[in-house]
Amino acid sequence: MSYSQVQVDPNQTDFLSNLPDALLLTILSFLPTPTAARTSVLCRRFRHLWEASPSVQISTYNPHKFIAMADRVLLRRNPSHPLLTLHLDLYKFSPSLPDSYVPSLLAKARSLRLRHLIIKGRFDFVRLLPTIFSIRSLESLLLPAIGLDNSRIFPTTLISTCIRLKSLSLGFCGVDPAELGRILPQLRSLEDLHLEIHNRDKLSLSSQTIRKLKLIIGLGDRKLDTLELFLPSLESLHLENWELYPNQFHIHVEVPLLKRAVIIFDEACARNAITRLLNAISHVEELSLHVKDETQLIPSSILWEPEKRMPNYPNLKNLNVSLCFHELNFQAVLIMLHKCPALESLKLIHEIPMFTGWAEGRKKEDWASELPSNGDGNNNYAYFTNLHLGKNRKEIMRLLNKAYL
C-alpha cells in the first residue's frame, strides 16, 4: 500500500498533542538538542517548545550551528525554564568561536542554577575551571582528560566551592593528592567519585559519604608505593593501576560496607599488591579480577604468596577472574575456591600472554591454560553457575581438581 492510499481516520485521537507540556519537555530532554529542534516543524505548538527542554546537549563539530543553537537554548533562555543538564561536546574550535563564548554559556548556566554538567572534548579546559566551579548548584560534574604538564597542577581547591556535588568525574589530570585528601571530606554530599590521575608516590582518599569509587591510576614519572582508602560508606570499588612498586607497595583500606569490587592490574605491578588488596577486601560479595601477564619470562603466582595464608571469603557469591591460568595461577584459584563457602557463580577466562617483544623467549608450554575443556572443546574459559547447590559445587571442584592433576 502506497503512502497516498493510507486512510486517515478524522475521528482518531491525537494522543501526542493531548500530552501536557511538562511531559513533552521530559520526552524532549532525552534527545540531543539538534534532534529535539527538528520537532519544531510538527505544528505551531512545537515551534519553540524544544527551546525549553531541561536538558541541553550541543556540539562544536559545526561552530556556526553551535553558536546559533546555544544562543537559542541558553543565552536567550527564559529564566522561568529550568536548566537541569548541560552536555557540551567541545571537540572543534574555529576563529569564528570567540574565546569568551563558552565561558559565557557556563555563566548563563550558573544563573539558571544548573544541576548536572558534562563536558567532553580535547582542548585546554584550564581556563574554564574557575567558571565551572563557580556553579555552586551543581550536583554532578564530568570533565574529560585535562592536559597539564608538571608545572601546572589541577586547582583542587576550586572543587570545595561545589558543596552540593553528589557525583564527580575528573579525567587524567595533575592532581595534588595531599590537597585532594583535604578537600574530599568537605564534600559532604559526594557519593560517586570517578578519578583518573597520573601516578603519585602516595594516594590517600578519605570520605564519610562516598559509596561508589572508580579510581584509575595511569603511568607517570613516579610509581605508587602507598594507597590509603578510608571510606566507611563505600559499596562499589573499581580500581585500575598500571604501575607501582610491586615489592614496596603498602595498602591501607577501611571499607567495611564494600560489596562489589573490580580490580584491573598489570602483572608487573600486581605481584604482592594483588594479595594485599584481596586481604583487605575479603568480605566482598562480587569480585572481578583482571590481571595481564606481560613481562615475566618465568610463570609465578600472582594471586597468592605461598609463604602466607590465603584469607577466607565468607560473603563472596560471584567471582570473575581473567588472567593467565598457567599451573601456579590455577593452583592459587583452586585454593581460593576452597575459601569461598557462599560462592554461587564462577567465571574464569584464560588470558594468553605475549611471546614477542620483552616477553620473547618464553616457552609457550609453561604458560598453557590449565582450565578444563569446556563445551566448545577448548580450555580458554570456564563458566559455572548454581554453585550454592552442594551437588554442583562438588562436581565443579572435582572437575577443576582433575584438570589440575
Q: pLDDT per residue over 372-399, tens digit each? A: 888 788 889 999 999 888 888 888 888 8
Note the pLDDT of residue 319: 96
Query: What is the average pLDDT across 148-156?
Result: 59
Query: What is the average pLDDT across 307-315?
Result: 85
Secondary structure letter of residue 307 according to DSSP? T
Secondary structure letter of residue 224 according to DSSP? B
Note the pLDDT of residue 270: 55
User: Which of 124-128, 278-282, 351-355, 360-364 has the highest mean predicted lDDT (pLDDT)?
Assistant: 278-282
Query: CA separation (Å) from 121 to 12, 89, 114, 147?
Result: 47, 6, 20, 11
Nearest to 322 by CA among 351, 344, 358, 342: 351
Note the pLDDT of residue 232: 96
Check residues 13 and 136 and name the one with the higher pLDDT: 136
C-alpha cell at 324: 593467565
Q: What is the pLDDT of residues 26-42, one digit of tens each?
A: 888 888 888 888 887 77
Query: CA separation (Å) from 38 to 60, 257, 262?
Result: 18, 48, 42
Residue 84 has pLDDT above 90, yes or no: yes
Residue 267 has pLDDT above 50, yes or no: yes
Nearest to 203 by CA among 177, 182, 176: 177
From first CA to last CA, the distance across the chain in angstroms is 69
Q: What is the pLDDT of residues 228-258, one digit of tens each?
A: 899 999 999 999 876 555 556 678 899 999 9
Task: For residues 343 and 393, give the distance between their C-alpha atoms in angstroms, rounded to a whole number.
Answer: 9
Secondary structure letter of residue 364 according to DSSP? G
Q: What is the C-alpha radius of gyration for the chain, rounded to an integer number of angstroms?
A: 27
Mean pLDDT of the chain: 83
Query: CA separation (Å) from 246 to 55, 103, 136, 275, 281?
Result: 46, 44, 41, 11, 19
Note the pLDDT of residue 260: 98
Q: What predicted TM-score, i.e. pTM, was given to this entire model?
A: 0.86
Identify any residues that bridge with 119 across adjacent strands, giving them in sequence order.
88
Residue 318 has pLDDT above 50, yes or no: yes
Note the pLDDT of residue 405: 47
Task: For residues 124 and 147, give the distance between their C-alpha atoms in angstroms, rounded to a whole number.
Answer: 7
Task: For residues 36 and 255, give the distance between their C-alpha atoms in angstroms, rounded to a whole number.
Answer: 44
Query: What is the average pLDDT across 342-348?
Result: 94
Task: For residues 174 and 232, give the distance between their C-alpha atoms in angstroms, rounded to a whole number.
Answer: 26
Residue 142 has pLDDT above 90, yes or no: yes
Say if CB 211 and CB 236 are below 8 A apart: yes
Check residues 263 and 360 and name the one with the higher pLDDT: 263
Note the pLDDT of residue 219: 61
Identify any residues that bridge with 170 across adjacent strands, giving them in sequence order.
143, 195
Check residues 199 and 357 and name the one with the higher pLDDT: 357
Query: CB neighbours (10 Å) of residue 155?
Result: 15
Task: For residues 270 and 354, give the distance between their C-alpha atoms in angstroms, rounded to a whole number.
Answer: 17
Counting Cα atoms < 13 Å in the Cβ hemisphere of 199 gives 18
Say if CB 253 and CB 277 are below 8 A apart: yes
The model's confidence at residue 6, banded by pLDDT at 50, 70 and 90, is very low
Q: What percent of the chain has pLDDT over 90?
A: 32
